Amino acid sequence: MSGRTASSTTVAALRTTGNQLIELARRPGMAGRRVADPPGWTVPQVLAGLTQLITRHAAPFDDADGDPATRGPEAGTGAGDPRARGPAAGELERAVAALRRAVGSLPSGPGVDGAGPVPYLGALEVPPADLYAAVLGEMLVHGYDIALAGHRGWPIDPDAAAAALRGGNAARPAWVDPARACGLIGRVELRARDQPHCRWQFDEGRLEVAPAEPWRPDVVISAPAAELLLFLHDRMSPWPALATGRVRMWGRRPGLAARTATAFRCPLTY
């Protein structure tokens, strides 16, 4: 899935999604709800995890050594696993305030769009604008989790989902879980409708994005951007959607599709 959305557009989508997420989290009874992924996390802990994810990705623009701990009040959540903090009065509001500051501090514009790749997880290097898109995808998906836990609706904007898929694709190899992807070998083509195609090649726990020609996919998955985003985060089974035509799938190894969706770890747990 080639192409990149301008950072200013992605940051605008992040701020819109962040405001929607905060509004959802502040609904009565939501603070103590636990989400399905990461298992056992409460709503404030998910917001804190998203804040940490944002500060890690924005750090290269704010300080010479790229250390998120030097960002000051924007970080707002402290170090370590957000699950380590038990329930406390005002936990939700502290998480909301920190998330709002983190999203509001994200820079954008030509300096971000033209920046070269920066170190990410492992040995992977990813352009900053693509990291923003990866964060947008996480916010959309974890908003879905929170809404599901609270029995609320969470409509995903198709343009935001498409931007998350296009840019966030570059970070995907770092999210592969070697244990879950052990033995996984195959070629998957993803087609978000009205968007460029994406090609993934799995080889024993490793993922290569946009492998060289010749290319012959084992399975092709076609769906609207929002459905494809949820499927790739293992939030949606493709089978009911196949029956309605919202998702289409073809190729010699259709079973590879379901295995693909379970091959990744949640970035909030890194």
Specify whether the CB–CB gap between 221 and 189 falls below 8 A: yes
**CA-to-CA separations, 7 to 29, 47, 75, 114, in angstroms, rounded:** 35, 22, 21, 10
**Domain count across the chain:** 2
Q: Containing domain of residue 61, as a range?
A: 7-173
**5-50: per-residue pLDDT in tens?**
788 889 999 999 999 999 999 999 899 999 999 999 999 999 999 9
Cis peptide leading into 117, omega within 30 of 0? no
Query: Would residue 197 count as lying in a domain?
Result: yes
Q: Side chain identity at 28, as an amino acid letter? A: P
> Rounded distance, CA 78 to CA 32, Å?
20
Supply φ then ψ for residue 203, to 5 degrees: -145, 95
* Mean pLDDT, residues 146-162 taken together: 95
In a domain, 1, yes or no: no
In a domain, 2, yes or no: no
Element (H, E) at 102: helix 91-104
Residues 195 and 120 in one domain: no
Write the pLDDT tens digit of every residue in 72-90. 333 333 334 444 444 433 8
Residue where a domain terminates, one of 141, 173, 205 = 173
* Residue finishing a domain among 148, 173, 198: 173
Q: Are residues 164 and 197 in the same domain?
A: no
pLDDT digits (tens, 9 = 90+) for 177-213: 999 999 999 999 999 987 888 999 999 889 999 898 8
Domain end among 150, 173, 196 = 173
Q: What is the pTM (predicted TM-score) of this model?
A: 0.86
Do 28 and 134 belong together in one domain? Answer: yes
Both 159 and 240 in one domain: the answer is no
Q: Say yes or no: 154 and 109 in one domain.
A: yes
Same domain, 97 and 168: yes
pLDDT computed for residue 94 by the predictor: 92
Tokens of 126: 């990813």
